[in-house]
């Protein structure tokens, strides 16, 4: 909702300054567990503000790219230290709604990424290799690219922005970030830590506001050669179309329909633990959430009974309450999506085993709460087993054997994460080979990425790039190949080398 500017407005951060909004418009950001609570007002930015931020980032890039990478790394290292000191303060359960332990995990992931990328400042390795000609030296080095436009979703308000900002900066780029409207404050905290750590003016800029205005303006700006986006597949496609005509670099991390396969020889206690955490952690609002379970028919009955019993015992509520296991959905629209999919599942003939309703009454009326919901006897082609719901809804599909499980697992449009519970090493290795996803777990749920390994997916989850790890360095740099001939004569490659 756009309202007149009030005292609590968090301004845009442009060229090292918190700047007044151009047209005085701001929007409210509220706690999804208690919408009476206003987190803050954020600027509904205009295209002019995007242009201003890009200009600042472009200007800052002239110097930042020349700062030695180990020195850039020192700034990141100091930022990581500040994030450690401020972890409790920055763990903003009120912003996204996930339970406090998980919110702390979100900040921790940013800390891990910042330390990791700080270390990369002393690597950023290229290659040296012998030339085919005498007295000639050959090497390739990584080069920064320029201003990076970063567009992030709401489910990991600090971690995902850190996955983009830190590698972009260590490689010598400057950034303009548009945080999700639902969770902007964590980005302000992250940028505050970087600024306090000594990031020069203009190197990091925040422009808040809607995807349709700020996001679109960033993806079309001629001085933004790199776009990194995490969000839905539908928006990712729009961004790809916006970036293609100018041949921008663009990285898309999008939806998922992840699966846990439970084989007949699985440790069922472990598998139930994994299915509960994978399916209902973060209220199912993870791109890697285990929203499908493929359970071998020999253990189907026993597994489902235990899984349903555990789901029924989950306590839904305000994530700040230590007794809460599952927080709210992020907003009313996401809650409605969940409720619509519950109806779709029922109409498709899936068996509703538990949940299925919005939680109402008392404190629930102030937020966007939904029961943890499980559908059994699902056909893998049902919409609830094919489409991303992004909420606390899990579809259980009976499977005949490993081959059938793999076919079900791979039979969706997405390819982010998959997992198998088995004690048979041969099956485990076959699954790691044949699951066509960017991430595979054995005897662990589909969630739990670590920052020093590549993150991303296949098919409609991604466009071939990966985030985190060295893969991020690959995205935020371009290779330059350099030949130095010290023979003092013309040497022709492929001709004078016999
Ligand atoms: P959206 O795609 O709706 O939004 C993501 C971001 O894009 C937001 O900042 C949004 O702005 C912005 N945006 C919207 N439209 C445009 C546009 N036309 N041009 C440029 N930017 C635009 O996703 P959600 O925020 O709802 O996040 C949920 C989705 O993200 C799920 O599908 C989930 O799977 C995916 N996701 C994927 C991850 C991965 O790594 N694969 C990780 C986390 C989430 P606004 O603030 O206005 O909404």
Q: What single-letter DSSP state applies at residue 474?
A: H
The answer to whether residues 206 and 187 touch, using CB atoms and an 8 Å cutoff, is: yes
The answer to whether residues 145 and 169 touch, using CB atoms and an 8 Å cutoff, is: no
At 24 the pLDDT is: 77
- Kindly list the catalytic residues: 253, 287
The answer to whether residues 416 and 457 touch, using CB atoms and an 8 Å cutoff, is: yes
Nearest CA-CA partner of 97 in 362, 392, 384: 392
Nearest CA-CA partner of 158 in 122, 131, 187, 195: 187
At 2 the pLDDT is: 42
Closest residue to atom 34 of ligand 1, CA basis: 255
At 279 the pLDDT is: 98
pLDDT grade for 9, boundaries at 50, 70 and 90: confident
At 127 the pLDDT is: 97
In this predicted structure, the answer to whether residue 4 has a pLDDT above a threshold of 80 is: no
The answer to whether residues 94 and 320 touch, using CB atoms and an 8 Å cutoff, is: yes
Find out whether the beta carbon of 207 lies less than 6 Å from any atom of ligand 1.
no
Find out whether the beta carbon of 155 lies less than 6 Å from any atom of ligand 1.
yes
**DSSP letters spanning 404-429:** HHHHHHHSSSEESEEEEE-S-HHHHH
At 324 the pLDDT is: 98
The answer to whether residues 173 and 148 touch, using CB atoms and an 8 Å cutoff, is: yes
**pLDDT tens digits, 40-97:** 999 999 999 999 999 999 999 999 999 999 999 999 999 999 999 999 999 999 999 9
In this predicted structure, the answer to whether residue 102 has a pLDDT above a threshold of 50 is: yes
At 195 the pLDDT is: 98
Closest residue to atom 39 of ligand 1, CA basis: 253
Instruction: Please state the rounded mean pLDDT for residues 23-33.
Output: 93
At 333 the pLDDT is: 98
d(CA 475, CA 488): 37
What percentage of the chain reaches a pLDDT higher than 90? 97
d(CA 287, CA 303): 24
User: From the CA of 459, how far away is ligand 1's center (Å)?
Assistant: 17
Please give the number of the atom of ligand 1 that sits closest to the Cα of 236.
Answer: 2
At 3 the pLDDT is: 44
d(CA 85, CA 451): 20
Q: Could you identify the residue written with the tokens 């309202």?
A: 3
Residue 203: both structure tokens together:
């190197």
**pLDDT tens digits, 104-140:** 999 999 999 999 999 999 999 999 999 999 999 999 9
Closest residue to atom 25 of ligand 1, CA basis: 153
User: From the CA of 41, how far away is ligand 1's center (Å)?
Assistant: 20
Mean pLDDT of the chain: 97
Q: Could you identify the residue written with the tokens 């990581």?
A: 80
77, 170, 318 from 119: Cα distances, Å: 8, 9, 37
73, 194, 451, 452 from 166: Cα distances, Å: 9, 10, 11, 13
**pLDDT tens digits, 327-342:** 999 999 999 999 999 9
**pLDDT tens digits, 338-393:** 999 999 999 999 999 999 999 999 999 999 999 999 999 999 999 999 999 999 99
């Amino acid at each position: 909702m756009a309202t007149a500017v009030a005292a609590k407005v968090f301004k845009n951060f442009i060229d090292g300054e918190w700047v007044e909004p151009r047209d005085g418009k701001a929007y409210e950001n509220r706690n999804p567990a208690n919408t009476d609570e206003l987190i803050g007002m954020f600027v509904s930015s205009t295209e002019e503000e995007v242009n201003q931020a890009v200009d600042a980032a472009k200007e800052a890039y002239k110097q930042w790219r020349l700062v030695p990478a180990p020195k850039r790394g020192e700034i990141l290292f100091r930022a990581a230290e500040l994030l450690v000191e401020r972890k409790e303060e920055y763990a903003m359960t009120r912003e996204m709604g996930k339970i406090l332990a998980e919110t702390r995990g979100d900040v921790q992931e940013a800390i891990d990424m910042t330390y990791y990328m700080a270390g990369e400042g002393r690597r950023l390795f290229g290659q040296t290799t012998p030339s085919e000609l005498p007295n000639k030296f050959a090497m390739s080095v990584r080069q920064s690219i320029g201003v990076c436009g970063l567009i992030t979703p709401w489910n990991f308000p600090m971690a995902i922005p850190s996955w983009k900002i830190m590698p972009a900066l260590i490689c010598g780029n400057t950034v303009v970030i548009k945080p999700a409207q639902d969770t902007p404050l964590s980005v302000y905290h992250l940028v505050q830590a970087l600024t306090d750590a000594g990031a020069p003016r203009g190197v990091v800029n925040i422009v808040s506001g809607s995807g349709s205005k700020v996001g679109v303006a960033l993806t079309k700006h001629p001085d933004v050669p790199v776009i990194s986006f995490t969000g839905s597949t539908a928006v990712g496609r729009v961004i790809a179309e916006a970036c293609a005509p100018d041949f921008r670099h663009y990285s898309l991390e999008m939806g998922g329909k992840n699966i846990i396969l439970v084989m007949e020889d699985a440790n069922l206690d472990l598998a139930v633990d994994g299915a509960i955490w994978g399916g209902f952690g973060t209220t199912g609002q993870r791109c890697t959430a285990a929203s499908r379970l493929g359970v071998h028919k020999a253990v189907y009955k026993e597994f489902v009974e235990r899984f349903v019993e555990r789901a029924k015992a989950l306590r839904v509520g305000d994530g700040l309450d230590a007794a809460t296991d599952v927080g709210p959905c992020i907003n009313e629209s996401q809650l409605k999506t969940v409720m619509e999919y519950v109806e779709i599942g029922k109409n498709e003939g899936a068996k509703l085993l538990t949940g299925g309703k919005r939680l109402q009454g008392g404190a629930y009326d102030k937020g966007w709460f939904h029961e943890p919901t499980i559908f059994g006897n699902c056909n893998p082609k049902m919409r609830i087993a094919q489409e991303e719901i992004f909420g606390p809804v899990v579809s259980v599909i009976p499977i005949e054997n490993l081959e059938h499980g793999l076919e079900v697992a791979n039979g969706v449009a997405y390819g982010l994460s998959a997992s198998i519970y088995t004690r048979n090493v041969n099956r485990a290795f076959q699954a790691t080979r044949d699951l066509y996803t960017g991430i595979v777990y054995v005897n662990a749920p589909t969630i739990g990425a670590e920052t020093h390994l590549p993150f991303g997916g296949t098919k409609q989850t991604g466009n071939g790039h990966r985030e985190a790890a060295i893969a991020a360095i690959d995205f935020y740099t371009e290779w330059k190949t350099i030949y130095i001939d010290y023979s003092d004569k013309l040497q022709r490659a492929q001709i004078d080398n016999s």
